[in-house]
Each structure stands twice: as structure tokens, then as C-alpha cells.
Amino acid sequence: MKYFVGSETIDLRLALIDSAQCFSWTEADGAFYGCVGDDAVRIWAEDGGVFSDSANVAALRRYLDLDRNYSALADECARFPLAARAVKMYPGLRVLNQPPWDALLSFILSANNNVARIRVLVSKLCESLGERRGEIHAFPAPEILVNCPSARLRAIGVGYRDKYLIETARAVAGGFPLNELRDMPYSDAHALLVTLMGVGDKVADCVQLFGCGHTEAFPVDVWIARVCRAALNLNIENRRALGRAARELLGKNAGLIQQFLFHAARTGAVEV
């Protein structure tokens, strides 16, 4: 079947793949394949609208963040011309609402790694350990990883991150309130996340921004550290201090703006 999802501005390739906030979507023949909730879905753009083969349109709209007014974002950073320019430069970019567990596993694997290889690791992890849903494999459940021999994870290619995955899975299976982070203040959720093995400030912020709806979370990587100096006039070497300063400067949607800055810096659209 073919369901109408919406006519809001969104560039599916940019939002689902090229922006590197999610590593599990694939593209084939102009359509995009991935998991939303428990469903394997196919999404495509057609006649200025977004369509899907999934009937759960509400879940899809939430995942794609279609109900947010992104044009207001440029106004929120209008006093930083480079940031406002980055926001206006990618009208089709959106910050996805992923399940926190998916984001947690993805960004544990992202540490000291590159996007292409993160994508390979995520897909291999899901294909070899995740539950099958149609043509797609979900992320492996915590209980699966807890009982997974580290040698098997090494064989997938996760390297030294094997124990991070297992220990974090053990914590989540043991009652870590992963699904309650969304309803906590940013700082409380952050403090909890960094207690997990393999989760530092940067990964915690990614989980919060991409998986907990914490739009103020401001992940700082090498690109963001550079572009903050150029776009926000922030000359701060310490990453945690830089993230805190950016949050204070940009407000409750600092993380959304961060995603535009990240893409602008990484693609060279903004000189850093």
C-alpha cells in the first residue's frame, strides 16, 4: 500500500543518511529502507510529498520530526550569521527521533571511528544479532548482547568496543532507565548516561539529541569544535566547556542548530 506521510520540506537522503545522525538506513531506486518503531518501512519522495508503505503515519511523522517548524530555527540564531546561514542552507535537514537504544548502540560504535565504517558495523551488528523484521534487521536487544561472546562482536569488527556494548547492555537489561531519560531534565539524563561504559560527554549528547528529544544537547566533535570558533566566536579548547557555552548561547534548540553547523562544516560549505 501507499500512504501519504506529509508535504513538509524534507530531504530524505540528507536526513536519513548523509547527515550521519543515523547509520542504519539504506537507499535503493530512490526509496529509503529502515526501521521505525517495530516496523520495517519504505519511504520515498513523490510529487512534492513524502510517502510510505507503512500505515503508521503518526510514528513516521514523529520519527522524521515533521511537526517541528524548522524555519524558526534560523531566527533563533540570527545573531550568529554563519549559523543562520547554515540553517537556511539545508532546508531539507531534520533531526530524527530515534529509539534511545538504537542511538545508544550506534554512537558507542561511533567513538574514534568514521561514518562509513560505523555504517558497516551497525548493519553487521543488526544482521548478525538483531531480530528479523521483513527485509530489515532491528538492533539487537540488550538481553542478546549481554549473552553475546565478545569474540563474536570482535568478529563483526567492533574492536575494543566489544566490552562497551556488553556492559552497557547489561546495565540497560538490569534496569537503567533508558526510556525515562526523555522526561528528565537535560543535566539529569546526561549524568546518568555517562555512567554507562563507553559513553562519554559526546556520545551522551548524541543519544540525548537523536534519541531522547533533548534538543538542547550539543555534541562536540572535531568539526563542531572548529566551526564553533568561526560561527559562534567561541575559543574554548575544552569540549565539555564548549558544549556548555554553546547551549547557553543558542538556547533550547542548540542541538538542532548544531546539526546544521556539523553538516556545513563537514561538507566544507562553511569555512572552518
Q: List active site positions.
A: 202
Q: What is the C-alpha separation between 216 and 208, in angstroms, rounded?
A: 9
Nearest CA to 35 out of 108, 184, 162, 140 is that of 140
Q: In the chain, where do the E strands start and end?
A: 3-6, 26-28, 31-36, 39-46, 49-52, 132-133, 136-137
Q: Does residue 173 bind DNA (CB under 7 A)?
A: no
Residue 15, CA atoms < 13 Å, CB-side half-sphere: 25
Site for DNA in 47-76 (CB under 7 A): none
Of 136, 199, 228, 257, which lies in the binding site for DNA, with binding defined by CB under 7 A?
199
Q: Which of 169, 171, 189 is nearest to 255 (CA)?
A: 189
Per rule CB under 7 A, is residue 16 in the interface with DNA? no
Binder among 35, 214, 219, 257 for DNA (CB under 7 A): 219
Cβ closest to DNA, residue 57 vs residue 92: 92
Q: Does 197 bind DNA (CB under 7 A)?
A: yes
In this chain, which of 86, 206, 227, 250 binds DNA, going by CB under 7 A?
Answer: 206
Alpha-helical segments (H) within 196-238: 201-211, 222-231
138 binds DNA (CB under 7 A): no
Footprint of DNA on this chain (CB under 7 A)? 19-21, 107, 110-118, 154, 157, 159-160, 164, 194, 196-204, 206, 219-224, 237-238, 240-241, 258-259, 262, 266
